[in-house]
Structure 1
Amino acid sequence: MNVASVGAAAVNQKTAGGAEKTSTVSYDNFLRLLLTQMKNQDPTDPMKSTEYMAQLATFSQVEQAVKSNEKLDALLSSFALSQADSVIGRTVTSADGTVSGQVTSVKITSQGPWATLSNGAELLLGQGIVVR
Structure 2
Amino acid sequence: MASSNPLNTINVGGVVQKLSDYEAAQNQAKAKDKKNDALGKDAFLQLLVTQMKYQDPLDPQDNSEYLSQLAQFSALEQMTNVSKGLSEVSKIVDNINSSVLIGQLSGMIGQPVQWITEVKGSDGKTEKQNFEGKIIGVSITDGQPSVIADVNGKTHQVEVSKIVRVGRLTAEKP
Quickly name the TM-score band, shorter chain normalised: 0.5 to 0.7
Give the TM-score taking structure 1 as reference length: 0.61
Q: AA paired with 1:102?
A: K
| Residues 1:83 and 1:97: Cα distance change in structure 2 (over 3 Å) | farther
Q: Distance in 1 between matches of 2:137 and 2:106?
A: 9
Q: AA paired with 2:157?
A: E
The residue aligned with 1:116 is 148
The residue aligned with 2:34 is none
Q: Is 1:98 the equivalent of 2:133?
A: no
1:129 to 160, 164, 174: 164
1:34 to 41, 48, 57: 41
Give the TM-score taking structure 2 as reference length: 0.48
Q: Distance in 1 between matches of 2:69 and 2:88?
A: 29
Q: Is 1:5 the equivalent of 2:26?
A: no
Three-state SS of the structure 2 residue aligned to 1:98 is strand
Q: Distance in 2 between matches of 1:127 and 1:117?
A: 12
The share of aligned pairs that are identical, in percent, is: 14
On the 8 A contact 1:104/1:117 being kept in 2, the answer is yes
Give the superposition deviation at 1:63.
2.0
Q: Distance in 2 between matches of 1:93 and 1:87?
A: 12
Give the superposition deviation at 1:80.
2.1
Give the superposition deviation at 1:85.
0.8
Structure of larger gyration radius: 2
The residue aligned with 1:27 is none
Count of matched residue pairs: 103
On the 8 A contact 2:145/2:159 being kept in 1, the answer is yes
RMSD across aligned C-alpha pairs, in angstroms?
Answer: 3.0
On the 8 A contact 1:80/1:108 being kept in 2, the answer is no
- Give 1 or 2: higher strand fraction: 2
- What are structure 2's unaligned runs of at least 5 residues? 1-36, 56-65, 117-127, 168-174
Which aligned segments of 4 or more residues in structure 1 are displaced greater than 4 angstroms? Answer: none
